[in-house]
Structure 1
Amino acid sequence: MAPSAADGHVWFGQPVVALPPIEAEDGTEALEIVAEAARDGGCERLAALLGGKALLASFLSTVFALSPFLRDCARRNPEALEALFDTPLDRRLESLFGDIEASSFVEGQSEGGMMKALRGFKAEAHFLIALARLAGAADTALTTRRLSRLADACVGAAVNYLLLDAHRAGKLTLPDPAHPANGSGWVLLAMGKLGADELNFSSDIDLIVLIDPQAPAIPEPYEAVDLFVRLTRRLVRILQDRTENGYVFRTDLRLRPDPGSTPLALPVEAALHYYESRGQNWERAAMIKARPIAGDLSAGAAFLKELQPYVWRKYLDYAAIADVHSIKRQIHAHKGHGEVAVKGHNVKLGRGGIREIEFFVQTQQLIAGGRFPALRGRQTVGMLKELAACGWIDAEACEALTRQYWFLRDVEHALQMVADEQTHTLPEDDEGLEQIARLLGFESADAFSDVFRQSLRLVEKHYAALFETAPQLSRGIGNLVFTGDVDDPGTLETLSELGFERPSDMCRVIRGWHYGRYRATQSAEARERLTELTPALLEAFGRTRRADEALLRFDAFLGGLPAGIQLFSLLQSNPALLEMLVSIMGAAPRLAAIITKRPHVFDGLLDPALLSELPDRAYLGERLEAFLAGAQLHEEILDRLRIFAAEQKFLIGIRLLTGAIDATRAGKAFSDLADLTVGAALDAVIANFAVRHGTVPGGKVAILGMGKLGSRELTAGSDIDLILLYDHAPDAEQSDGEKPLAPSEYFARLTQRLIAAVSAPTAEGVLYELDLRLRPSGNKGPVATQIEAFGRYQRQDAWTWEHMALTRARAVAGDAELRAAVEAEVAAILATPRERGAVFAKAVEMRALLEEEKPPRDLWDLKLVPGGLIDLEFIAQAAVLAGCCEEGTVSTATVDVLVRLSPGFCAPQPRQELVDAHQLYTMLTQTTRLCLEGGFDPEEAPPGFADLLLRQTDLPELTVLAAHVEETAARVRGHFEKLLGAVG
């Protein structure tokens, strides 16, 4: 008797793993959506299964409820599940891989037909691979291999199709059209996770494309580059363009040599020359995972063999060793900083994440692979085992890191299975976290969070220990003598070796510490502690690669400290805090200046929960209330607000600097902080103003946040745009205080008081710089506007650009009833029907004017550069005004609007590219504003800052990042012109 499908045997070859139960209503609804599609598609066995009580049906209802993406896969293609009754999943996958490989040989196949076929095969295979993992029929290692094999097959089929097409057109003369790739000279190397056969569920694929111009298939070697660049462009289009059938794989070619100035396909000789003459150590690390996957495989293997001496050096010179240490520094072992937040944690790049394991393995491979061929493998887990076998790590570390690697990869896959998004960040809301927990088989988000934290702690512990116990590559620190008046020659030599360019000047600075030049070093005990700390400090400063600058910033910091014993003791016992302080001094001059002027903000770093708490509105509100408790006097309240805001801005920045939060979350946190502190300042000003002038009958005030405050995208250094609106009883003639004022004068003077309270420089600094130019009639209009007059102006007199600005408006403080009325009024104004073409024409005209009057400084002027933030904001704002957004939760955030652009206005692929561009620009902008006083200049910025940008973008070098920004800006400008019209 054939086994029943009820328990999963027929489909998976074994019973399914029961996922924790969910709300019955959710599961039933999800199952019914698929069952209806099964009935409509004639999939009777599937429909019967879904209508029954079998364990397999229960499993599918849970999967479909938790993963809208997998539910939609089943709804669009119920035949994929129906087929499993006849062919078990593993055999069906094999059949699909064969179909993919055969698709390029279909007679008369058009490019559009090829794209459709690949998308269909990939969608089904993707779906089945995910189901097998969730059902427990495949472990994570098999899942990553299957995903990699799927990518190999799709790339290989597309390459074969294009080669045959070029052969038929007479552009190539293939030696064996039955095997098009052989002798074709077109080499495709898989890099990164695809190269290692460790692909994510929704990963990009990284490729390097090379050409052998002397290959038998190439009739004209001099024309080979042009031909294969065209073919490579077509390949990328076939693989990544989103059509009504979806996409195959997003494709990234930026790991090729010098991507900003080389063609998409590079001759082999040119690539070899580049690597041998100019190749960087990060490129050596990347080449560890390189694997020929399509095209001329033998030419690809020959290229990698030729490159072996470059990747695997028998002896490392000191410069290479320094570079390896630099690679190590790109990931911090945040030892001693307490728990991490589970919500919003980046599984790939965050503390204790996947990248920490991968980086350690790769750096050890670079160090030892030249002498130990066994360490030249591509796969992370395989190399952990070899490192243990070679004695570089112990068996416990190998076993623990292997287990955690696969667990974290599982978490990564679950995140990506929900909506087929290339995300590595856990949800910030309870519902989203619960969804991920249950997909992973946990009974609750709390149970998952406990295991997840333990995993991160274990990775952090072993990661830090691995670096501590790894063979030392540099000589021990030498002389450090700072007594007397004359420089010690040995000390000068030591400082030079550590990376200081002016060792004599640095000696003089350090002698000043030891002579008690500052209050912080006047006590003997403080100087003793600092003496013990100095070697570690100097080594850490040396690693910043601008040691002199970092030390001088620390010197200025010391000069402002009221006392030093506690800090020096703390730094000595807490290496992670020392590293963080040095990171600030080396990578973030702006933050360094803040703690130099206000050393008290450093106290916040002592909170062990700092990096585990999300700085959301509730968190900040609770702390603000506690900080203001007991303050009675008006000036005392305002001073406390300035102190609180300065400290919290700094701490939000530290979280961004260390990777505890991402740039989007930082923008929300900076904005929530502004809402709360400006709101508290408004309350204080209203109370103080009423002492003399009383209140206006029925008087209410609300603040409408505009610009980046309204869209919750503030940066560390942003000023804030706002409009103050008020209302009062219709018959109110004046206020009721000892010095009464007419309503218009009352609220105008109240606003002036608020401006002074928030913006006036004081001993505690400025709360925020305010900008009220977006109010009706701009600088010519009154500083406070009655809500009825505001609505009348917006409906009758406002320009299109003012309505565009209004799309980001958000009531942030003041009377709750008036805020609700303001929000309703803004929504009504924005909902007014408008002629789409007229809105777009005005947006384009305004963008052209801005481009003429405020040209960008350079590529890194991300706001003004063509295709930069302004273009994205204008697309979003024009779309809102023209009604080009899908229904859903209304948000003022630019990225949320871009996500909701309607398909009729913007197709899925450009929409995703706009969203990705906004996230990239946000990250770069937030980090730059946090760390630097001016804009980013690659020639002038501290190397530590460049390392930070590269870590956050997960790119290996600034030239690659520059090429990425340039390509992104060109894409955005292209979409801007297509969606709204040409500029200028």
Structure 2
Amino acid sequence: MENFGRFANKDLALEAFQDFSEFARTQFKAHPEWEEWLKSPEISDPTHYRGLGRLKIDWEELANCSLNLENRIDALKKLKQREILRIGFFDFALVWSLEEVLKALSLLADFSIEIILDLAKAQLGFPAFPFAILSMGKLGGKELNYSSDIDLLFLHNESNGHHDMANRLGKKIVQLFSMAYGGFYRIDLRLRPDGNSGILVPSIKYCEYYYSALGESWERMALIKARKSAGDSALAYEFEILRSLFSFPRHITEEMFEEVFEIKSRIEKELLDESTKKRNIKLGEGGIREIEFIAQSFQVVYGARYPILQSRSTLETLEALTECQLIPRKEMEALKLAYYFFRQVENRLQMVADLQTHLIPENIVQKKAIASSLGLELEPFEEKLETYRMTVRKLFSSIFPLSKEKGESIFHFEIFPDPQKAYKDIQSLLDSDPIKPSARVSKSLKRLYPILEETLKKTVDPNLCLSRFVQFAEKYGTKAMLFESFASSPKALELLLRLFDSSSFFTEILLSQPDLFEEICRSDGLYTKKTVEEFFNELGRIEKDHRTKYRLYRKGELFRIFLRDILGIASLIDIEEEYTALAEAILKHACNLCHAQSNAIIGVGRFGGRELGYGSDLDCLFIGNNLNGALELNRFLSEMLPSGILYNFDFRLRPHGEGPIVLEEEMYEHYYRSVAMFWEIQALHRARFVCGNEEYGRRFIRFVDDLWVDWSRRIPWKEFFELREKIQKERDSSVPVECRIKTAPGGLMDIELGLQIWLMGKQIREPSMWKAFLLLEKEEGHTARLAREGYVFLRRIESVMRRERNSPISVLPIDEAAREKLARMLGFDSKAKFMEAYFTTLESNRLVFEKLTSQKPP
């Protein structure tokens, strides 16, 4: 006869098994036929697979096909006990590996849960509705032992008033498990949201809220092993997505390891005394729980980064930790050997009397029996226990901060101009759910304190930034998750606070759409400069309700470009060109939607030069005879909806600055040839065809080019300088002249007019200022450099001021505090240094203007 594991044959193995296990002796005595069943060729064959189908057939046979509930429950209990004998026999004889034993025990539990669920449904007679039973702990990981509780979570989908039915079904399941009490499974429902005080059958929606807002670190670890054991697969899949996001968060700090140590310390302090710390192979020093904590802690912290770590199996996870280079292979192998041995010992301890115990017996005889069941003498057995315990404890101690002194996180309010206001804001951050305050929020915020404080120090207005951060946290909804995210991503927090510091307008966008921030930061959009074609194609995928959806799309894109600006990823030129491309793409689609494409749209001003900035209107000329289409287009873009407007048109450069907004090309030609003043001709230097009727557009641009050359031969210098002086004197006259960024001597207008008149003198028409600087550079390198530097400096000031409310503004603030803030926003240490640079730039720009207009004195 062939050997049977560590025994000479099956009979000797069975005899030894009964000698060792009081549970086996009791069961065989109560059911003598079970011994013959176990000896039968098929059942005693370790390679024979007994799946769910075979178990169901056996259960029906044990119930004698009775429909009586008590009989069927009793038959299920008997099936469980009989199968445990078979699994235990193969385990004891060492013909099955540990993995085979644990999977067989877990399969048996899954089958029993499925049957109990079916019986409960039949008893209540409810119509079918989504309900699932999820297993956690050892059963969830398919690592169940002989006498473990099974950790379960009941779940329903909260649709069509299913809550009451789900709750009644949950109670019935609990009742049926209790009917089989004694030799059957003990279920533990304490891992559900809110524990014993929580709803017996929570909905998927409540679980989503609970885990995102209130879930603690230990719950992240517990849910790693969660899986469906019975019930609705679609509902279980929904939970699987939730579980994955919660247990493997994208943002979590390594302080998670400190929390795990605290949990382990409480276990040792509250559940163990000195006499059991080394005898308890599960909870004691260097025991199973420490190995599980090592695996699960790394899974929570690094699982999102390394999907291979998202296994429910402890042994598989340990192997994956080495693959991810988080634990050296030598240490991983030691942990696996220890885990394997401890789980075998745990099984032997529970195999004796079917009791949930993890204590190595003090009695020498009993201890020898455990050792012998593993094929060991007592001394080698004890040496193995001690060696593995010390190995695990040493590694656990190297990973977790066992002796680290943890100081209380303190927020320093002296960094704020208004410390009392800041204190109130910090307190409001600590207030979580008014119904159930969360310790997780407090912990995660205190973890964030040093990063938040350091980042606020860099802001211009820390009080304002903190207040806006409070508003954002309230809108975001799950404070703990938000704080954990920023604690692990300080750069994201710095960007958010810089945003709050830079613009009220974009703060309001973010507060209305909090998800926008993460959505943009996670994409590669911050590093992408989109073209007209790319914007046009994305808009083309929008269907229906274009008025609202275009506005929302534009807000999102404005927000993305704004972030590129404040991060310094994109230059001023890039920002202007991308804003212009966005406007152009929207205008092209809107033209088609409003049936206005028979008109040609000519961009002038900054739109024509592809230099749109924050709050810019679209300076346009409409050429054609489709007035209705033009009016509809104007309404489409400028109508104020709850989602805002798209763009306002500025038609002031049309003939006479009034009258119909669309004119035929002959009228334009007549006006510009016979009526227009020189400044109106100058304004055409930025004209370019944007969209609509291409034939009209190209003809008009050819006309403008000819007109430009014609006027370049007879520049009215006197009119030019008089107009410049008039504008400088009258525009923005309510503020001191030196505060007028645009019209002050040496302001933006001087660079623009100077460059225009220089180009006209060369008979060159170039709509783009940036390209015009390059043309100037070919002939006047030094002048071009000064002109460009002065222009960029003033445009940057203008841009920083305009982005606050996304509205036009061209004068410096009069208020000293506002001017100080502006200086710091621009990177200056003080207002004085900023104003010194500003006046130096105006003086330089005046000289540049004189140089550019010196080709013909006034």
Smaller-chain TM-score bracket:
0.3 to 0.5
Q: TM-score, normalised by structure 1?
A: 0.42
Q: TM-score, normalised by structure 2?
A: 0.47
